């Protein structure tokens, strides 16, 4: 087959781009393009080479792992090669791989966004710690290991078993998301580019020559330079100490007879190495898909970032049969979730005024797809954050969107600046009402518009909040309706809301049908929904008042302790502070709120309009699970995960997420993984769904009787 010149040219172009990205990424720990862009380039090259196999050369990026060694550490040739994994990006591609490898038991594990390392143990003692590098040769970072708490220097002996003479342990060092944010704040505080993801932060942290730093400290000539170096050394040491490790493989293992990947993990765990509790061996394709679906849902609740799931054929014999391609094993695949970090251009920063008057800079960015939706705006939290992150208008930035939270800017790509970027200047006056902006207290990081009563932005924000699902759930009261109600002067503030009439609504163009001035559907919907909202539980009403620090969970705690608004109104700070779920800050905020006459007027108007002000006391039901800890795992037909938890807690029990010897019952549904195994291992009573219902309805004794049957 003749290869078109355009294909050849595109191939060359792709190789240049990929190599450049790899250099920036691996050598400098500073990516210039996002993971998703890299994956797209790599994918395009792979497809091109698949179509025209003659284009494949030995030095093609598809034939190597990437990540040649840097200059700072000594080289280390891994006793056995550290492979890279092939990626798939869709269920379809994954199914194609599963079909290709055939029937097996599969081990599924999370692909942590960290840095691959190889730890070599000789007779149980750590000899070398190295980065993956090119896969054949990495960097020996053993001199840093004394600062790292996550890598054991000695393995724990297993009874009746000698340590393997030589053991290579593969794993991932990583930062938790909390530590990643911390590290980025430190980095940007000194004017450097933020790390794009936890993996780069881990790489940047691990690849610091601590021994050189100690040396330079000893030779510093002046007190001030010594102090500065000492500070830097401490910071670097602390950062290394915050690294975590999860091990996920074994290379050379002399004197060990291993049957399966999962068997290896069990040994690693017993030797005291950190393995993941989320590893699961599944017997079917459906099991693999379920695992991927489950963690796709949970990924934003984990303590660390993951970018996918790794699926491995569990049996080592079967692994050997399948073998390797030039760059990756055939018996493993990485399924990648849609990326959560992308690179885009920061077009402008404007300020927004929230419902509590808080002024936040909001970045508008070039629209970009991230985690399944198009993002055009991102938050920068407060003006200090803009300065701390060092972002300028016009910068290329890394942006992260995790779950349902508002996308945030991680930091600029300083290397790509061309001089046209400009600093953001915080306005001194409210863009909506012209009031002078200031922090409420000198120590506050937040700047506020003090015009709480009539600043249009705050009023609008409060109305929208009140209508939202988590509060009074008033369909028809969204951003547009709130704006129309205020701009057309249908209401002065939220106090007038529940006494709204059809005639009043008809004065606003937004709520009528064109020239006929007949009431539109949205107006009828709003009136019905307002009527329904009036009888919703008191905690929702409290939540709707937009007191500072009082979100729905706090409002629930308040309503439990004060099921009557008139009692809450006169409650003192000390009375409030003793309630569980309310602290000093919230107590003060509530008292302060009721001290404002126009706030009380709002409550009075609502009461007059028939909004609920007193909760009937509902009997919580017999607490038949008091003192019991119950774990639910797998899927149940009659209960959602939350529903099962609620059923336990409403009966006085504790719904726990992990199994221990203190677990009283483990409820196991289809698709349950390691927790079920753990329960068996610890001999905890295991109930099926029917047994769970018995437990909920008749208590622990009946559940034990059910098990004995
Ligand atoms: Zn204002």
Residue 280's pLDDT band, with cuts at 50, 70 and 90, is very high
- Ligand 1: centre distance to CA 457 (Å): 6
**Helix intervals (H) in 52-147:** 91-101
Kindly state the average pLDDT of the residues 369-396. 85
- Beta strands per DSSP E along 461-562: 512-513, 518-519
Kindly state the average pLDDT of the residues 151-173. 93
Kindly state the average pLDDT of the residues 608-624. 78
Buried b (16+ CB within 10 A) or exposed e, 516-540: eeebbebbeebbebbeebeebbbbb
The DSSP call for residue 564 is B
Name the residue with higher pLDDT: 612 or 446: 612
pLDDT at 64 > cutoff 60: no
- Ligand 1: centre distance to CA 487 (Å): 15
- Ligand 1: centre distance to CA 511 (Å): 26
Other C-beta atoms within 10 Å of 303: how many? 10
Which pLDDT value is given to residue 71? 41
- Ligand 1: centre distance to CA 433 (Å): 4
Separation of alpha carbons 34 and 24, rounded Å: 11
Instruction: Check if the beta carbon of residue 201 is closer than 8 Å to that of residue 183.
Output: yes
Q: Which CATH number fits domain 343-447: 3.40.1190.20, 3.30.410.10, 1.10.357.10, 2.40.50.140?
A: 2.40.50.140
Give the residue extent of every domain in the chain.
Answer: 5-63, 74-207+243-336, 343-447, 489-609, 629-708
422 phi and psi angles, rounded to 5 deg: -130, 155
Which pLDDT value is given to residue 226? 80
pLDDT at 216 > cutoff 90: no
Kindly state the average pLDDT of the residues 319-333. 93
- Ligand 1: centre distance to CA 242 (Å): 42
Which pLDDT value is given to residue 66? 47
Which pLDDT value is given to residue 191? 64
List Cα–Cα distances, 436 to 358, 457, 604, in angstroms: 13, 14, 30
Kindly state the average pLDDT of the residues 548-564. 88
Separation of alpha carbons 257 and 274, rounded Å: 21
pLDDT at 639 > cutoff 80: no
Query: Which residues on adjacent β-strands are paired with residue 167?
Result: 121, 253
- Ligand 1: centre distance to CA 456 (Å): 7
Angle at 274 (CA atoms; ends 268, 280), nearest 5 degrees: 75
Which pLDDT value is given to residue 616? 73
Which pLDDT value is given to residue 70? 42
Which pLDDT value is given to residue 1? 54
pLDDT at 215 > cutoff 90: no
Structure tokens at 678: 């753990």
Name the residue with higher pLDDT: 645 or 509: 509
H or E element that contains 367: strand 358-370
CATH 3.40.50.10190 fits 629-708, yes or no: yes
Tens of pLDDT, residue by residue over 78-112, are 999 999 899 998 999 999 999 999 999 999 999 99
Kindly state the average pLDDT of the residues 556-563. 89
- Ligand 1: centre distance to CA 545 (Å): 18
Which pLDDT value is given to residue 503? 94
Q: The domain 489-609 belongs to what CATH superfamily?
A: 5' to 3' exonuclease, C-terminal subdomain (1.10.150.20)
Separation of alpha carbons 356 and 460, rounded Å: 11
Radius of gyration of the chain (CA): 30
H or E element that contains 229: helix 223-242
Instruction: Check if the beta carbon of residue 630 is closer than 8 Å to that of residue 695.
Output: yes
pLDDT at 207 > cutoff 60: yes
Going by their DSSP bridges, the two strands 358-370 and 447-448 should be labelled as: antiparallel
Buried b (16+ CB within 10 A) or exposed e, 433-451: bebebeeeeeeeebbbbeb
Tens of pLDDT, residue by residue over 123-158, are 999 999 999 988 899 999 999 999 999 999 999 999
User: Looking at the annotation, which residues are catalytic?
Assistant: 111
pLDDT at 30 > cutoff 50: yes
Highest mean pLDDT among 27-36, 353-362, 669-678: 353-362
- Ligand 1: centre distance to CA 527 (Å): 29
CB under 5 Å of ion ligand 1: residues: 430, 432-433, 435, 449, 451, 455
Structure tokens at 293: 């679906």
The DSSP call for residue 123 is T
Kindly state the average pLDDT of the residues 375-390. 84
Which pLDDT value is given to residue 481? 95
Separation of alpha carbons 257 and 74, rounded Å: 32
Kindly state the average pLDDT of the residues 212-220. 79
Question: In this predicted structure, which of 359-368, 434-443, 602-611 has the lowest mean pLDDT?
Answer: 434-443
Name the residue with higher pLDDT: 13 or 501: 501
**Do 343-447 and 629-708 share a fold?**
no
CATH fold of 74-207+243-336 reads D-amino Acid Aminotransferase; Chain A, domain 1 (3.30.470)
- Ligand 1: centre distance to CA 384 (Å): 20
Classify 396 as helix, strand or coil: strand
pLDDT at 626 > cutoff 90: no
Which pLDDT value is given to residue 472? 92
pLDDT at 69 > cutoff 50: no
- Ligand 1: centre distance to CA 458 (Å): 7
Tens of pLDDT, residue by residue over 420-465, are 999 999 899 999 999 999 988 877 778 899 999 999 999 999 999 9
- Ligand 1: centre distance to CA 609 (Å): 28
Kindly state the average pLDDT of the residues 684-706. 89
Question: Residue 528, Cα to own-chain centre: how many angstroms?
Answer: 38
- Ligand 1: centre distance to CA 359 (Å): 9
Mean pLDDT of the chain: 87
CATH fold of 5-63 reads Helix Hairpins (1.10.287)
Nearest of 337, 482, 460 to residue 401 by alpha carbon: 337
Instruction: Check if the beta carbon of residue 312 is closer than 8 Å to that of residue 107.
Output: yes
Which pLDDT value is given to residue 403? 67
Residue 366's pLDDT band, with cuts at 50, 70 and 90, is very high
Name the residue with higher pLDDT: 24 or 237: 237
Burial class of residue 236 in the structure, from the number of CB atoms within 10 Å of its CB (0-12 exposed, 13-18 middle, 19+ buried): middle
Residues 6+ apart with CB under 8 A from 708: none
């Amino acid at each position: 087959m003749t290869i078109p010149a355009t294909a050849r040219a595109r191939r060359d172009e792709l190789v240049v781009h990929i190599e450049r990205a790899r250099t920036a990424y691996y050598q400098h720990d500073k990516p210039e393009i996002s993971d998703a862009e890299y994956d797209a380039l790599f994918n395009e090259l792979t497809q091109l080479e698949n179509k025209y196999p003659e284009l494949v050369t030995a030095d093609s990026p598809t034939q190597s792992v990437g990540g040649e060694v840097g200059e700072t550490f000594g080289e280390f040739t891994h006793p056995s090669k550290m492979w890279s994994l092939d990626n798939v990006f869709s269920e379809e591609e994954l199914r194609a791989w599963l079909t290709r490898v055939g029937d097996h038991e599969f081990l599924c594990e999370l692909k942590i966004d960290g840095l691959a390392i190889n730890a070599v143990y000789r007779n149980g003692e750590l000899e070398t710690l190295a980065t993956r590098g090119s896969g054949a040769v990495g960097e020996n970072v053993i001199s840093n290991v004394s600062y790292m708490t996550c890598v054991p220097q000695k393995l724990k002996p297993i009874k009746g078993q000698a340590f393997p003479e030589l053991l290579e342990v593969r794993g991932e060092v990583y930062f938790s998301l909390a530590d990643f944010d911390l590290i980025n704040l430190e980095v940007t505080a000194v004017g450097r580019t933020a790390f794009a993801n936890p993996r780069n932060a881990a790489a940047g942290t691990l690849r610091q020559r601590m021994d050189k730093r100690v040396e330079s400290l000893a030779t510093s000539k002046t007190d001030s330079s010594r102090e500065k170096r000492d500070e830097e050394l401490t910071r670097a040491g602390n950062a290394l100490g915050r690294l975590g490790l999860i091990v996920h493989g074994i290379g050379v293992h002399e004197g060990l007879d291993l049957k399966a990947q999962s068997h290896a993990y069990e040994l690693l765990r017993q030797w005291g190495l950190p393995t993941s509790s989320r590893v699961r061996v599944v017997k079917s394709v459906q099991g693999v898909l379920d695992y991927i679906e489950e963690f796709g849902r949970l990924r934003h609740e984990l303590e660390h970032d993951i970018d996918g799931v790794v699926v491995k054929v569990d049996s080592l014999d079967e692994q050997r049969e399948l073998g390797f391609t030039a760059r990756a094993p055939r018996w493993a695949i990485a399924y990648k979730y849609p990326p959560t970090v992308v690179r885009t251009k920061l077009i402008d920063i404007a300020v927004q005024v929230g419902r509590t008057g808080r002024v936040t800079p909001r970045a508008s960015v070039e629209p970009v797809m991230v985690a399944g939706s198009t993002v055009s705006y991102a938050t920068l939290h407060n003006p200090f954050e803009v300065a701390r992150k060092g972002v300028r208008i016009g910068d290329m930035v890394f942006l992260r969107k995790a779950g349902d939270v508002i996308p945030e800017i991680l930091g600029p790509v300083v290397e790509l600046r061309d001089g046209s970027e400009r600093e953001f200047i915080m306005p001194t006056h409210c863009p909506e009402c012209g009031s002078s902006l200031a922090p409420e207290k000198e120590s506050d990081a937040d700047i506020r518009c003090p015009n709480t009563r009539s600043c249009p932005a705050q009023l609008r924000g409060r109305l929208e909040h009140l209508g939202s699902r988590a509060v009074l759930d008033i369909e028809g009261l969204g951003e547009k309706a709130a704006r129309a109600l205020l701009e057309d002067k249908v209401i002065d503030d939220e106090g007038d809301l529940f006494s709204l009439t059809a005639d009043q609504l008809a004065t606003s163009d937004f709520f009528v049908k064109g020239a006929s001035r007949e009431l539109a559907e949205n107006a009828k919907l709003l009136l019905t929904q307002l009527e329904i909202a009036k009888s919703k539980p008191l905690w929702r009403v409290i939540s709707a008042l937009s007191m500072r620090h009082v979100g729905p969970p706090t409002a629930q705690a308040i309503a439990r302790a004060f099921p009557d608004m008139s009692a809450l109104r006169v409650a003192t700070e000390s009375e409030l502070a003793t309630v569980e779920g309310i602290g000093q800050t919230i107590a003060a905020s509530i008292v302060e709120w009721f001290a404002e006459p126009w706030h009380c007027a709002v409550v009075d108007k609502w009461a007059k309009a028939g909004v609920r002000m007193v909760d009937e006391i509902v009997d919580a039901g017999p607490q038949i699970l008091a003192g019991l800890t119950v774990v639910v795992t797998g899927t149940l037909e009659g209960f959602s995960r939350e529903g099962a938890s609620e059923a336990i807690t409403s009966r006085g029990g504790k719904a726990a997420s992990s199994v221990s010897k203190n677990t009283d019952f483990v409820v196991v549904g289809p698709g349950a993984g390691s927790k079920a195994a753990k329960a068996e291992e610890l001999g905890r009573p295991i109930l099926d769904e029917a047994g769970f219902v018995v437990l909920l309805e008749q208590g622990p004794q009946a559940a034990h009787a059910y098990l004995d049957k």
